[in-house]
Structure 1
């Protein structure tokens, strides 16, 4: 007779966490997850298939866990309480400090006022070392500020965890205090109120070992370069450019860092490529963009420089151009000194100073002498977002602490005008009126009434006893589905040569539109976030070139930036993005250079719902951004008022 297998094959312990390797038992994963367990899925991990559990969570009710496992296994395995507890005790008596250190990396950077900043992968042993060294945890950036030298911190971690030296990145870029976390944004923007049951807020316990300080690498100050206008004009003699583009190239070349904030569709990519190539003079160039736009950048570089050597998403010292996405920036921190020019496309992605890619972006920028920032939407929600970009460039205004910056430049229209004047030499922005061929863009809102059944469903969701954000998401999804019938009616009114982009916030709505278009025999392609880059590009190419493909349905997050969809002369929003910048970016997939027709934007808004509040919030944010970045917004408003009087 065959002997039954043991339930638990092996137990390991590193002094902080247990690792349990056991037979498959249906329902056991729930027991481990309830105890903050983590299943190691990576096949290359030495502890592949182990459950990793914190010591306290496992030992607190070990007997309960054992009996529940035996109930679930229905006595199929050979295990008793004595053998089970013995395996746990044996592991405790023979700890392996390297049990869970495979793949860990830590980053140590010096602070301007002394000490270091420690960040990287989580391990309870690293937390213990940081606490023993009287470190302060910086909650926003998930790092530790420790008053000690880099070598001392590294040595203590090696002694505690048995790490190797190649598991550390020791940076020489000095980190400066950006903010102490005390800045509260001014409340000038319409808020969305749902009503319904009040939700309790959970108060955070005070802890002397935590802080809201945020640190970023110190970036060199902007300097004027030696390029004269005459030299630049001579360098541009062989290029085919639109009338407004030489000025944009000059703006970048005459400064070591600058922001090109042209409207979408004016060719920021082409201008930056030419400026970078002239400035680099055959030295390496790093381009940072969205993962979905890497192909676009490669094509654009090859159109200007057919012989260029281009690498993608990995460091290659033989390539003159390397294009990578924000998520991969950490791989380039130690190679930053290799590059002469850094182009940061969609630079507003770095507005959040606590994001890992922002921290990595600053570490890289600190080592690269020339930094060109590109975005048509430098301000999405509030003035403080511009502070991060100014700091990344090395602008004097960006070197102000965030609190002082907000006190001087945020909270009123007059303050914002002062800020616009202060950064006028750094930021160049042109609107689409520099393109004489464009026929214009017209934005129309359409009132929509809910049916009695839809109103009942809306109110039911609105008044549910759930957190407000959860209810808000459900309401937005419901309203998108309501607008499907409205949009399908609008499609019937289009002429045969018209094409339309349908933007949604939810993937399910895109699926519904695809089904309805197929039923109505409209040629339709779709793009959602889970689509591969190749699949997205195929959909874009088909929409642009195939007369029978008249509908492009997509989520705004997946297709609202960077793509050229000038075959469309209609844009419709079933759901609105949270910022006017994202809305403008989405609209301007159609309204850009190469568009030969008037672009009509239709925005259905459901009466007496959150739609009106969201629309007003977007209008408030649009006014804030206009004060900061539109060169003649104030003068235009005054002229209109004067004329009306």
Structure 2
């Protein structure tokens, strides 16, 4: 007679434990609340279905072993004795994993990048693994906090071999670059004293002390980019090449500016057709060789449309490397995928190039790696300076301009901090940067800015002061105050909408997603046709909202966050722009305004800026004015000079 089976035998709580010498992996049954216990121990849940350890919790060795008994008893309490597990079986599984480590347990999908340094040694960066940190420390490496990489005084092959031996990696998990990296002195610059600061008052906040660590450095390394050279293309040759194109009067000069240099900045005001000029210049220079376009993810569709308008038969790829495409358009976040393919391209176009102002950002590092391998580099931005002069340094270096080769500290000593220094910088880069204002477009009717003073009600003032004086960090209070002021301005904006004529359309810019949602509700209640765009919207959804606003006469309101819709889009159906919240830089404000004030606009554009009296609104507005003057000295010296002369006359 056969032995009967136990049909209701309880399952083990822990199915399997693995260990790689640094971290444990624990696969267990679902227990409500267990995730909090693992997160408290710096645990990480592996969600990717294709990962060999899918559904495992990965925990650092020390964090798991320090209070293993406490963790076990807490898990058993949460599971309410539903599983067949004892302290003996639980601890045995942990010990067994320790005695039989698998060094490749968590190496799936890891990639590392090794690049040579001009001073000797290498720069190691890539995915985090404690084993890679251990190897770097054993080789006396110095961690570069800004770029999250290691500087190691050894050859690329030695470093790679040590990582393979330590972690069991395969050779295809390494990218060995031949683009030499140069040191960029950090030389951080304090904003100019002439720029207004925002002061909240309230209790002072303590600053956390920085931990001293001899193995950490603030050095920044970026790939060495070839120097700018003249191409030899004559004005006559370029004019002949442009004979078949339909261009506005100012655009041939912009195309010539790009074609006569291996790298240049086209800094035309928003709406003057930088995209069209760059497309034509790149196509002429490339002569049927591949072109890489780098832009914001939200503008990829715009670029594809613009290219097809000029070259209907062009083959265009998006986001991934395709050797059969003449044009490939990608966004900043994907640049790392193109580093090894950089030599394939003849021209790179960097749209919204001010995104590369921060040398420590990963996409800046990747942008330099790519630029080092591409002979022609065209930079486009209507706002090359957002906050201070030093932001131009990275763009100059990316172009290979002699001024960009100066150490950042020396650059700032020569060109930053005063109006005279800024004028000297403008003279030094005049041949590299071409800037035209909208007065080259005779069809535009102009733009007016109007500030509107607003008073808080007694209840609103009480709420404002309560937030301002809270015992929280100043940045947290500042964000809460800005959000409160946006909500206050909704009632004012709704009153303004009632005053518009039937054919008027308006763009409402906010800094917070919640404000956009409230505006949508209020517009629906008032029976105003309204579309919205926020950062979480897909590219397709954003484009649908833009197209509807542009073509549907009943859709009169476009409400959006500045970060989601303030750049690149054409919203010329609007003749009013209103800001419920202001961005931090005048460049971002100008870009947002010029979604309406650009080529194709047939009406005067009125920009209304409500400012709440006796609040941070007024300080922020003054700060923007100060920054606007700084940028004007650099990129529009004629306008700055005229303004100063007019002021002197009035005095």
Sort the TM-score into its range (normalised by shorter chain): over 0.9
SS in 2 for 1:632: helix
Deviation at 1:379, TM superposition (A): 0.4
- What's the secondary structure of 2:531's corresponding residue? strand
Tell me, in whole angstroms, the C-alpha distance in 1 between the residues paired with 2:350 and 2:188: 29
Do the aligned residues in 1 keep the contact of 2:34 with 2:78 (CA within 8 Å)?
Answer: yes
Q: Is the 8 A contact 1:227 1:254 kept in 2?
A: yes
CA distance in 2, matches of 1:626, 1:448: 29
Instruction: For residue 564 of structure 1, give the secondary structure of its aligned residue in structure 2.
Output: coil
Is the 8 Å Cα contact of residues 350 and 379 (structure 2) preserved in structure 1? Answer: yes
Q: What is the CA deviation profile of residues 479-500 of structure 1, one whole-angstrom value per residue up to 9, with x for unaligned ones?
A: 1011000000000000111000
Deviation at 1:195, TM superposition (A): 1.3
Alpha-carbon deviations, 1:124-163, whole Å to 9, x = none? 0000000000000000110000000000000000000000
Rounded to whole Å, the distance in 1 between the matches of 2:517 and 2:139 is 54
Is the 8 Å Cα contact of residues 35 and 57 (structure 1) preserved in structure 2? yes
Q: Note the alpha carbon deviations across 1:298-328, whole angstroms, 9 max, x for none.
A: 1100110111111111111111111111011
Q: Structure 1: how far apart are the matches of 2:142 and 2:539? A: 41
- Please say if residues 181 and 214 of structure 1, whose CA atoms lie closer than 8 Å, have aligned partners that are also in contact: no
- Sort the Cα spacing of 1:73 and 1:201 in 2 relative to 1 into closer, same or farther, 3 A: same
**From 550, 553, 571, the counterpart of 1:547:** 553
- Are the aligned partners of 2:629 and 2:640 in contact in 1 as well (CA < 8 Å)? no
User: Using the alignment, how far apart are the partners of 2:189 and 2:553 within structure 1?
Assistant: 53
- Separation in 2, partners of 1:402, 1:270: 33
CA contact (8 A) 1:258 1:372 kept: yes
CA distance in 2 between partners of 1:375 and 1:181 (Å):
25
Range with greater deviation from structure 2 (612-621 or 179-188): 179-188
Q: Return the offset for 1:634.
A: 3.5
Query: Given the superposition, is the C-alpha separation of residues 536 and 123 from structure 1 closer, same or farther in structure 2, using an over 3 Å criterion?
Result: same
CA-CA distance at 1:107 after TM superposition: 0.3
- Post-superposition Cα deviations, 1:204-232, rounded to whole Å, max 9, x if no partner, equal 12111000000000000000011000000
**Which whole-Å CA distance do the structure 2 matches of 1:50 and 1:318 have between them?**
40
Residue of 298, 302, 305 corresponding to 2:304: 298
Alpha-carbon distance in structure 1 between the residues aligned to 2:17 and 2:191: 50
Q: Do the aligned partners of 2:286 and 2:347 also contact (CA within 8 Å) in 1? A: yes
Alpha-carbon shift at residue 633 of structure 1 (Å): 2.7
Question: Structure 1 residues 602, 618: closer, same or farther in 2, change over 3 A?
Answer: same
| SS of equivalent residue, structure 2 residue 609 | strand
SS in 1 for 2:16: strand
1:331-383 per-residue CA deviation (whole Å, 9 max, x = no partner) reads 00000000000000000010111111000000000000000000000000111
SS state at 2:187 partner: coil
2:357 counterpart of 1:347: no
Asked if the contact 1:571–1:587 (Cα under 8 Å) also holds between the matched residues in 2, the reply is: yes
Question: Which deviations, in whole Å up to 9, do the C-alpha atoms of 1:206-259 show, x marking residues without a partner?
Answer: 111000000000000000011000000111111000000000000000000000
User: How far 1:560 sits from its partner (Å)?
Assistant: 0.4
TM-fit CA distance, 1:181: 4.8
* Alignment partners' CA distance in 2, 1:442 and 1:199: 41
Cα distance in 2, alignment partners of residues 634 and 414 from structure 1: 12
CA distance in 2, matches of 1:517, 1:195: 36
Aligned residues: 645
SS in 1 for 2:600: coil
Once the two structures are TM-superposed, the CA of residue 644 in structure 1 deviates from its matched residue by 2.3
Q: CA deviation at 1:193?
A: 1.3
Whole-Å separation in 2 of the counterparts to 1:613 and 1:186: 16
Deviations 1:241-289 (A, max 9, x none): 0000000000000000000000000000000000000100111000000
CA contact (8 A) 2:423 2:637 kept: no
Q: Deviations for 1:592-630, whole angstroms, at most 9, x for unmatched residues?
A: 001011000000011111111111111111111111100
Contact kept? 1:266, 1:593, Cα under 8 Å: yes
The answer to whether the 8 Å contact 1:25/1:73 transfers is: yes
User: 2:233 aligns to what?
Assistant: 227
Conservation of the 8 A alpha-carbon contact between 1:181 and 1:212 = no
Deviation at 1:641, TM superposition (A): 3.4
Q: Structure 1, residues 413-459: CA drift from partner, whole Å, max 9, x if none? A: 11111000000000000000000010100000001111111111111
Change (3 A) 1:224 1:424: same
Give the secondary-structure state (helix, strand or coil) at the position aligned to 2:248: coil
TM-score (norm 2): 0.98
Q: Which runs of 5+ in 2 are unaligned?
A: 1-6
What pairs with 1:42-441 in structure 2 (closer than 5 Å)? 42-181=48-187, 183-441=189-447
Q: CA deviation at 1:466?
A: 1.4
Give yes or no for contact 2:179–2:223 (8 Å, CA) kept in 1: yes
Contact 1:343 1:371 in 2 (8 A): yes
Q: Distance in 2 between matches of 1:84 and 1:635?
A: 77
Given that 2:508 and 2:560 are in contact with CA atoms closer than 8 Å, whether structure 1 keeps it comes out as yes
SS in 1 for 2:89: helix
Residue 3 of structure 2 corresponds to which residue in structure 1? none
Give me the whole-angstrom Cα distance separating, in 2, the residues matched to 1:535 and 1:34.
38
Could you tell me whether the CA contact under 8 Å between 2:509 and 2:580 is conserved in 1?
yes
d(CA) in 1 for partners of 2:468 and 2:34?
Answer: 37
Judged with a 3 Å threshold, the aligned counterparts in structure 2 of structure 1 residues 183 and 481 are, in CA distance, closer, same or farther, namely closer
Tell me how far apart the structure 2 counterparts of residues 167 and 190 of structure 1 sit (CA, whole Å). Answer: 49
Residue 642 of structure 1: CA displacement? 4.3
Note the residue ranges of structure 1 that are not aligned, 5 or more in a row.
Answer: none
| Secondary structure, aligned partner of 2:307 | helix
CA RMSD of aligned residues (A): 0.9
Give 1:186 deviation, angstroms: 3.8
Q: Which moved more, 1:530-539 or 1:359-368?
A: 530-539
Does structure 1 conserve the Cα–Cα contact (< 8 Å) formed by 2:189 and 2:390?
A: no
Separation of aligned partners in 2, 1:267 and 1:598: 19
Contact 1:480–1:504 under 8 Å retained in 2: yes
Q: Deviations over 1:488-525 (max 9, x none)?
A: 00000001110000000111111100000000010111
Deviation larger for 627-636 or 440-449: 627-636
How many angstroms does 1:184 deviate by?
4.2
Residue 638 of structure 1: CA displacement?
3.7
Deviation of 1:182 after TM superposition, in Å, equals: 5.3
8 Å CA contact retained: 2:505, 2:576? yes
Secondary structure of the equivalent of 2:637?
coil
For the 8 Å contact 1:194–1:472, the answer to whether it is kept is yes
1:474 match: secondary structure:
helix
Cα offset for 1:50? 0.5
The DSSP-based 3-state class of the residue aligned with 1:231 is helix
C-alpha deviations, 1:541-595, integer Å up to 9, x for none? 1111111111000010110000000000000000000110000000000000010
Structure 2 vs 1, CA of residues 180 and 522 (structure 1 numbering), >3 Å: closer, same or farther? closer
Contact between 1:181 and 1:213, CA under 8 Å: does it hold in 2? no
